[in-house]
Structure 1
Amino acid sequence: MTASEGFHYYEGVLFYDGLLPASSLDAARKLKVREDDVFVMTYPKSGTTWLQQIVSLIRNSDDISSTDEVPLTKRVPFLEVVPPGEERIPISKVLDTMESPRYIKTHLIKRLLPPDIFTVKPKVLYLARNPKDVLISFYDFKAHPWSWKEYFDNFLKGNVCFGSWFENVEYWWEHRNDDNVLFLFYEDMIRDLKGHVRKIADFLNKSLDDATLDEITRRSSFNVMKENPNANFKAPFREGMRKLNRGKPGIWKSRLTEAENEAMEKAFSGRMKEMKIEFPFYSYDDD
């Protein structure tokens, strides 16, 4: 396959040239995983920034205010990237020098992750989002060179940056009951953020009093994060990209045509039935 300008294929998966060169992806696979590592795993545009905010505030629950002043890129580094700048040191190399416990973000599919993850078994928080909303949000993120029709077709084929939504979600859904895995749904977190902050804290073995729980929930709300530059940083891919957009589920209802929705159902529903994934397809306004 030939990639569009600015992109390349690595092990059959499409990636950006600048932040995700083959050398950085190679380095990410060689990361020495530690037992006390915590991985935040998602397919792109599935609430990653939101989950990074929550877990980092829980981790430092005794000093929330100062923690929230540190950029998320420092609190929960992005495993597979090479940050822009002169030195161009892969984040995986930076992680090697970090003290434990390390909190690490990744969008990589299972076969591109560090193999140690599956033997050392660190904690993994996996957040999944309705693929129809992911489709829209990823398109609006402008991380592609295509028209809407081209992008739509490529998304259904899994030929977008970071690959197939199915391949990303499927492994962790199958392992959702493992002791070291907490599988979460974006839509459920929207409906009960406070309850999910408590669930995540319990998973991380962090005890929160009621006041701290309330404060972490407040600082992890969409409206507060949107106003915090350290929680709503701009991604250095290209002009116009934003890490936080509308936040509410169900955006596909006003964006997909009837024919496009039918195409999504045909491509996704059968596969999801095979996976037996109990996915909430409701929107926030369905109450």
Structure 2
Amino acid sequence: MLICTDSKSAVPREKVAYVFWYDHVKGWWEKKQDHPILYLFYEAMKEDLKREIQKVMQFLGKDLMEEVLDRILYHMSFDMMKENPTTNYKMAPAFLVEQGYSPFMCKGIAGDWKNHITVAQNERFNADYEGKMAGTTLWFPTEV
């Protein structure tokens, strides 16, 4: 069940399990002003996973041996994570994740959205995004 809230909602925001995606993302983006937060994007990980793992290591002030980094890269590959029940949500209770409708991890192809929505739908999404994300510097890459 997904509960969305907005300014007209009769349910106080602090009483719901989920909020609008825009509110969630903007809230965490704004927190970067006061807290050290590292933002990573799927497309960047698809482009160069090792570089992105190294960003995490640098952010955490850690240094790993090359063998450890190689094991991390292996286990973080999309194919490995898709088969791992601890990362593909197969272990999640059915009331949280409906596995029969669509698997949590689909294809792992950056930019595949172009095969599923029309140009007109993309234009509507972009207009909605620009309106709701106005005032932020947050930009999401959509392809590699």
Runs of 5+ in structure 1 lacking a partner?
1-6, 14-110, 113-160
* 1:268 Cα deviation from its structure 2 partner: 1.0
- Does 1:259 find its partner at 2:120? yes
- Residue of 205, 208, 228 corresponding to 2:64: 208
Provide the C-alpha distance between the structure 1 equivalents of 2:2 and 2:47, rounded to a whole number of angstroms. Answer: 38
Equivalence for 1:280: 141
Could you tell me how far apart the structure 2 residues matched to 1:188 and 1:172 are? 19
User: CA–CA distance in 2 between the matches of 1:204 and 1:221?
Assistant: 21
Q: Could you tell me which residue of structure 2 aligns to residue 227 of structure 1?
A: 83
Q: Distance in 2 between matches of 1:172 and 1:182?
A: 10
Q: Any unmatched runs of 5+ in structure 2?
A: 7-12
Identify if the C-alpha distance between structure 1 residues 233 and 175 changes in structure 2 by more than 3 Å, giving closer, same or farther: closer
Deviation at 1:264, TM superposition (A): 0.8
Q: Does 1:244 align with 2:100?
A: no
Amino acid at match of 1:175: K
Match of 2:9 in 1: none
CA 1:254–1:210 in 2, change beyond 3 Å: closer, same or farther? same
Task: Write 1 or 2 for the structure with the bigger share of strand.
Answer: 1
Q: How many residues align?
A: 132
Cα distance in structure 2, aligned partners of 1:261 and 1:8: 23
Distance 2:123 2:77 in 1: 33
Give the conservation status (yes or no) of the 8 Å contact 2:26–2:136.
yes
Structure 1 residue identity aligned to 2:129:
F
Identity %: 37
The structure-2 alpha-carbon separation of the partners of 1:261 and 1:174, relative to structure 1 and needing over 3 Å to count, comes to same
Partner Cα distance (1:265, 1:256) in 2:
12
Q: Note the aligned Cα RMSD (angstroms).
A: 2.7
Q: 1:176 offset after TM fit, Å? A: 2.9
Q: 1:199 is matched with which residue? A: 55
After TM superposition, give the deviation of residue 193 of structure 1 in Å.
0.7
TM-score (norm 1): 0.40
- Within 5 Å, which residues of 2 pair with 1:174-193? 174-176=30-32, 178-193=34-49
TM-score by length of 2: 0.74
